[in-house]
């Protein structure tokens, strides 16, 4: 495991060495007055209330509508997190944001198999399918990140994060049916400045951050930033004698701002991010009954092998997975935003290229037995985006019009291989006496390890994705109090795919053969058994469509500090193509109608009110929403396959509705607090051909599908909340003036389903997490504090999952235990 702390220290030293000549150069020049900062840079922190908050103003500037506005003037449900709050609460990646934002959900088996949802919708839980897109748009410095895996980076020099809830299809694009996350990094400064931070904690946690900025010339400024995180794993693998689920990441970003003219700014950015931990495995959580014969369920199979997991208590944090583990996640890119002030309006261009390299290794049988010995789908993606926007502000109205182009090419070359335990674990030996292990007759295929040992599937997957759009948004002030805001977006999508799975196995005569549905070995009993576990497939799916999104927003200024609004939005999430394999007919031919899925069509209604009182020390925002989705893209397990595979299907209709409230009080410079809560009602309104829950699988009479209309959607808690407070007192330390402070933040979520079709065995129980911090800071940017997260060592699962073969084994992902440490930060 590489230790990246020395690299961070070296990078910090190198940056500082570069910075001093910049500072000297700046002193010899007379720099131009700085332009007003972008909206994000003027924002105050909302949760946690760090030292830079302004209690009397309560003003937070955002760019949710592509122009700088006070968040309380924007008729959209928005949560805002400033960089200081992120640093203080330890929210250094998207996953940790969920503890501050109750309606933001993050689920990850590994970086590739990650989904981010808002209000419970966005992407289905389960194994990622290359041919679909997310429903939460992620933007960093205005650049769209198509794959969630490419946004699992540790934050580097963040200025502000805006979480926009509800469809944002007009301005943020087709795949924002649930909302958008807009991340802004700190811009280069024409005044020399720098920051460094080091954190140490238990589990050998080490984190270092550094940034420096200053002028290169009168019209050129630069910012360089780096971050590294390293932590020992929280689960011990007794099979390999190593800790897994570790953290190991490095991020570097460089930005150059060129003020080409008085009216034109060009910003060139490049970043590189690498995560390379020993990760990721889900471990034994529990066992449930299935319809498989008892001698073919987990307990009997494990006994037949003389096998037992190292612990049946997942919170002992032990596993014995025997396949190699890796989760190498590399991504980066270049971008060039340009802002041209034309007097009457501003023309913006954002040009970007990004890449993503994914190098995994998994244990997909979730045990210490050699069942699936290799499972990996390494991928490479290139993404190109170009956006043009023109924003105009007139008397009584303003508007934004623009065009967007996107191209993505992704190649995945996967490999899955079965081991000597696969035959007995996976194959059905036929009718056997009750209580028998199923191997009384040696000739039974399930009793012969050679039948499936070495069965190998080589998968070749290709995706090309092109998207073009034109959009416009108008804000028309009918009166001093009433504003009407219509928006529209026309989008064209085309996806073409290639899926080829070539399967090789051992025939009964001992020769290696292609596993096929025709040919001289098609009826060989070993080949027939192998086809039932991993069938060859080839198909080339295509999706092509034009879609129209539109919305209408009405806002009314009731008083200077109270804004009421109503929104209707018609949005969509792009249709997709299945690139994980599809069901086959009796002859083994892929059912091509399952090769593509229809777009999600979203009807969304929202009512809200934003208010401030007590001289704007108190903010209270309330939102009610009702979202209906037709052709919801659901993840379905393919019961035809002996391996854990998934494909997508359209559910007829789902509904998500609820109420959210956000409360912030900045009582004085000495105390502030916040609380956010949400109630969310959610269900499949109609899904009559859904996958059945796992307890109904595995039997000869198990239903091929189930009607789950009226059941919960996966991943959504009915109740969710976050809250926190901070208090401080003046203090002197080593002759300097400052303040001591105590902070607390917490989150809660109620029970949720972790499976596409709800099962009592796959519900994750509700839990709450509590975090504390205490320290000393000064106005000059020095801050030293101790912290503890999950202070009461809550035992909870992030996710539960069914496992292959209908054996009844449930694998789980325990959340982080209690962690503690200290941080020192200083500006210079």
Banded model confidence at residue 58, pLDDT cuts 50, 70, 90: low
pLDDT at 644: 39
**Tens digits of per-residue pLDDT, 589-644?**
777 777 888 899 999 999 999 999 999 999 999 999 999 999 998 876 544 433 33
pLDDT at 135: 86
CATH number at residue 377: 2.40.170.20
Average pLDDT for residues 754-768, to the nearest whole number? 93
State whether residue 165 is helix, strand or coil: strand
The structure tokens 């576990």 sit at 533
Could you tell me if 207 and 228 are in contact, meaning their C-beta atoms sit under 8 angstroms apart?
Answer: yes
Tokens representing 314? 């997942």
Residue 432 within any structural domain of the chain: no
**Tens digits of per-residue pLDDT, 719-750?**
999 999 999 999 988 778 999 999 999 999 99
Smallest Cα–Cα separation from 230: which of 6, 4, 11?
4
Helices (H) and strands (E) in the chain, counts: 7, 44
State whether residue 150 is helix, strand or coil: helix
DSSP state letters, 519-586: STTTT-HHHHHHHHHS--EEE--EEEEEEEEEEEEEEEEEETTEEEEEEEEEEEE--EE--S---B-T
Mark 534-554 as b/e (b = at least 16 C-beta within 10 Å).
Answer: bbbbebebebeeebebbbebb
The structure tokens 């595979």 sit at 645
Peptide bond between residue 280 and the one before it cis (omega within 30 degrees of 0): yes
Cα-only R_g, the chain: 28
Q: Which of 88-102, 322-336, 578-592, 785-799 shows the lowest per-residue confidence on average (mean pLDDT)?
A: 578-592
CA 576 to chain CA centroid, nearest Å: 19
Sign of CA dihedral 534, 535, 536, 540: negative
CA–CA separation, 764 and 409 (whole Å)? 36
Q: How far is CA 641 from CA 98, 426, 734, in A?
A: 35, 10, 68
Residue 435 within any structural domain of the chain: no
Backbone angles phi, psi at 57, to 5 degrees: -90, -45
Could you tell me the end-to-end alpha-carbon distance of the chain, in angstroms, rounded to an integer? 32
Reported in sequence order, the residue ranges of 669-705 that DSSP labels E, i.e. its strands, are 671-686
Backbone angles phi, psi at 748, to 5 degrees: -145, 145
Q: In this predicted model, which residue has the larger pLDDT, 406 or 5?
A: 406
Smallest Cα–Cα separation from 501: which of 374, 414, 596?
414
pLDDT at 449: 93
Mode of pairing for the β-strands spanning 809-814 and 797-802: antiparallel
Put residue 277 in one of left, alpha, beta given phi > 0 → left and psi -120 to 50 → alpha: beta
CA–CA separation, 444 and 427 (whole Å)? 10
Beta bridge partners of 797: 814
pLDDT at 6: 40
CA 36 to chain CA centroid, nearest Å: 33
State whether residue 806 is helix, strand or coil: helix
Calculate the dihedral angle through the C-alpha atoms of 571, 577, 580, 583, rounding to the nearest 10 degrees.
110
Residue 16 clears pLDDT 80, i.e. is over it:
no
Residue 131 within any structural domain of the chain: yes
Burial class, 677, CB count within 10 angstroms (exposed 0-12 / middle 13-18 / buried 19+): middle
Mode of pairing for the β-strands spanning 596-597 and 576-577: antiparallel
Residue 439 within any structural domain of the chain: no
Put residue 90 in one of left, alpha, beta given phi > 0 → left and psi -120 to 50 → alpha: left
Q: How far is CA 681 from CA 179, 275, 615, 657, 747, in A?
A: 18, 36, 35, 5, 19
Mode of pairing for the β-strands spanning 372-376 and 345-361: unpaired
Sign of CA dihedral 20, 21, 22, 24: positive
The count of other CB atoms within 10 Å of the CB of residue 92 is 22
Q: Provide the 8-state DSSP code for 38.
A: P
pLDDT at 438: 57
pLDDT at 731: 94
Residue 693 within any structural domain of the chain: yes
pLDDT at 242: 95
CA–CA separation, 257 and 218 (whole Å)? 11
CA–CA separation, 571 and 602 (whole Å)? 5
CA–CA separation, 431 and 68 (whole Å)? 71
Smallest Cα–Cα separation from 651: which of 666, 636, 639, 663?
636
What element of type H or E holds 401?
strand 397-418
Smallest Cα–Cα separation from 423: which of 506, 303, 521, 514?
506
Tokens representing 546? 């034009």
Residue 21 clears pLDDT 90, i.e. is over it:
no
Residue 785 clears pLDDT 70, i.e. is over it:
yes
Residue 114 within any structural domain of the chain: yes
Could you tell me if 807 and 372 are in contact, meaning their C-beta atoms sit under 8 angstroms apart?
Answer: no
**Tens digits of per-residue pLDDT, 82-126?**
888 888 887 777 777 888 888 888 888 888 888 888 998 887 766
Mark 740-758 as b/e (b = at least 16 C-beta within 10 Å).
Answer: ebebbbbbbbbebbbbbbb
pLDDT at 530: 93
Smallest Cα–Cα separation from 152: which of 217, 96, 218?
96
CA–CA separation, 77 and 59 (whole Å)? 16
Percentage of the chain surpassing pLDDT 70?
89
CA–CA separation, 468 and 610 (whole Å)? 35
Q: How many domains are there within the chain?
A: 1
Residue 431 within any structural domain of the chain: no
pLDDT at 428: 75
Domain region containing 353: 5-424+445-827
Could you tell me if 768 and 744 are in contact, meaning their C-beta atoms sit under 8 angstroms apart?
Answer: no
Could you tell me if 318 and 310 are in contact, meaning their C-beta atoms sit under 8 angstroms apart?
Answer: yes
- The predicted model scores a pTM of 0.88
Backbone angles phi, psi at 316, to 5 degrees: -75, -15
Residue 438 within any structural domain of the chain: no
Residue 267 clears pLDDT 90, i.e. is over it:
yes
Could you tell me if 315 and 814 are in contact, meaning their C-beta atoms sit under 8 angstroms apart?
Answer: yes
- Which residues lie below 8 Å from residue 89, measured CB to CB, with a gap of 6+? 47, 48, 96, 99, 100, 724, 743, 745, 771, 773
Q: Where are the alpha helices (DSSP H) in 210-305?
A: 298-305
**Tens digits of per-residue pLDDT, 428-481?**
765 444 445 556 555 578 889 999 999 999 999 999 999 999 999 999 999 999
Smallest Cα–Cα separation from 528: which of 588, 585, 584?
588
pLDDT at 43: 34
């Amino acid at each position: 495991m590489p230790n990246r702390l020395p690299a961070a220290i070296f990078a910090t030293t190198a940056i500082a060495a570069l910075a001093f000549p910049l500072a000297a150069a700046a002193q010899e020049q007379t720099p131009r007055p700085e332009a007003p900062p972008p909206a994000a840079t003027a924002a105050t922190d909302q949760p946690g209330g760090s030292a830079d908050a302004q209690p009397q103003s309560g003003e937070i500037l955002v760019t949710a509508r592509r122009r700088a506005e006070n968040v309380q003037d924007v008729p959209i449900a928005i949560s805002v997190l400033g960089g200081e709050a992120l640093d203080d609460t330890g929210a250094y990646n998207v996953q940790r944001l969920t503890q501050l934002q109750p309606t933001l959900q993050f689920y990850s088996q590994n970086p590739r198999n990650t989904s981010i949802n808002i209000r419970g919708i966005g992407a289905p839980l389960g194994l990622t399918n290359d041919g679909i897109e997310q429903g939460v748009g992620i933007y960093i410095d205005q650049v769209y990140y198509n794959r969630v895996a490419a946004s699992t980076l540790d934050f580097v020099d963040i200025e502000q994060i805006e979480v926009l809830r509800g469809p944002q299809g007009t301005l943020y694009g087709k795949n924002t049916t649930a909302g958008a996350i807009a991340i802004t990094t700190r811009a280069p400064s024409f005044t020399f400045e720098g920051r460094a931070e080091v954190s140490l904690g238990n589990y050998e946690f080490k984190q270092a951050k550094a940034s420096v900025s200053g002028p290169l010339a009168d019209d050129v400024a630069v910012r360089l930033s780096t971050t590294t995180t390293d932590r020992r794993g929280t689960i011990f693998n007794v099979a390999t004698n190593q800790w897994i689920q570790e953290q190991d990441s490095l991020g570097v970003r460089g930005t150059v701002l060129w003020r080409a003219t008085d009216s034109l700014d060009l910003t060139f950015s490049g970043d590189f991010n690498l995560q390379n931990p020993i990760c990721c495995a889900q471990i034994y959580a529990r066992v449930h009954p299935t319809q498989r014969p008892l001698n073919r369920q987990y307990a009997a199979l494990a006994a037949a092998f003389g096998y037992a997991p190292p612990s049946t208590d997942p919170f002992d944090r032990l596993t014995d997975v025997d396949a190699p583990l890796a989760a190498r996640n590399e991504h980066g890119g270049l971008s060039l935003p340009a802002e041209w002030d034309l007097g009457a309006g501003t023309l913006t261009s954002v040009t970007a290229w990004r890449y993503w390299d994914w190098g995994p290794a998994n244990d997909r049988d979730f045990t210490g037995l050699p069942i699936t010995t290799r499972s990996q789908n390494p991928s490479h993606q290139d993404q190109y985006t170009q956006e043009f926007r023109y924003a105009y502000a007139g008397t009584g109205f303003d508007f934004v019009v623009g065009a967007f182009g996107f191209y993505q090419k992704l190649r995945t070359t996967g490999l899955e291989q079965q081991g000597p335990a696969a035959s007995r674990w996976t194959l059905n030996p036929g009718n056997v006496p009750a209580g028998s292990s199923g191997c009384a007759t040696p000739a039974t295929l399930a009793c012969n390890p050679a039948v499936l040992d070495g069965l190998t599937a080589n998968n070749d997957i290709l995706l090309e994705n092109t998207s073009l759009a034109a959009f416009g948004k108008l804000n028309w002030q009918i009166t001093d109090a009433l504003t009407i805001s219509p928006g529209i977006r026309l989008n064209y999508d085309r996806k073409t795919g290639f899926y080829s799975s070539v399967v090789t196995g051992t025939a009964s005569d001992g020769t290696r053969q292609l596993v096929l549905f025709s040919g001289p070995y098609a009826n060989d009993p070993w080949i027939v058994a192998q086809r039932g576990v991993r069938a060859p497939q080839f198909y080339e799916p295509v999706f092509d469509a034009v879609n129209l999104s539109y919305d209408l927003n009405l806002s009314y200024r009731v008083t200077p500090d109270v804004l009421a609004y109503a929104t209707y939005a018609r949005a969509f999430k792009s249709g997709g193509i299945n690139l994980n394999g599809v069901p086959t007919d009796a002859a083994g031919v892929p059912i091509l109608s399952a090769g593509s899925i229809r777009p999600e069509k979203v009807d969304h209604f929202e009512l809200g009110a934003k208010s401030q009182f007590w001289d704007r020390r108190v903010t209270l925002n309330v939102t009610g929403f009702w979202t209906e989705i037709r052709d919801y893209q659901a993840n379905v397990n393919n019961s035809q396959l002996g391996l854990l595979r998934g494909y997508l299907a359209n559910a007829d209709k789902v509904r998500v509705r609820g109420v959210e409230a956000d409360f912030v009080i900045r009582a004085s410079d000495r105390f502030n607090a916040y609380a956010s809560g949400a109630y969310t009602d959610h269900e499949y309104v109609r899904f009559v051909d859904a996958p059945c829950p796992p307890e109904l699988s595995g039997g000869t009479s198990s239903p091929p599908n189930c009607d789950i209309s009226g059941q919960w959607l996966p991943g959504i808690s009915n109740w969710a909340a976050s809250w926190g407070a901070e208090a401080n007192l003046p203090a002197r330390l080593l002759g300097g003036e400052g303040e001591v402070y105590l902070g607390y933040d917490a989150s809660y979520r109620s029970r949720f389903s972790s499976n596409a079709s709800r099962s009592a065995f796959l519900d994750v129980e509700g839990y709450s997490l509590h975090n504390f911090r205490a320290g000393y800071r000064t106005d000059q940017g020095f801050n030293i504090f101790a912290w503890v997260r999950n202070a009461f060592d809550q035992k909870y699962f992030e996710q539960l999952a069914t496992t292959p073969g209908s054996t009844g084994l449930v694998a789980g992902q325990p959340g982080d235990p209690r962690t503690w440490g200290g941080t020192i930060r200083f500006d210079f």
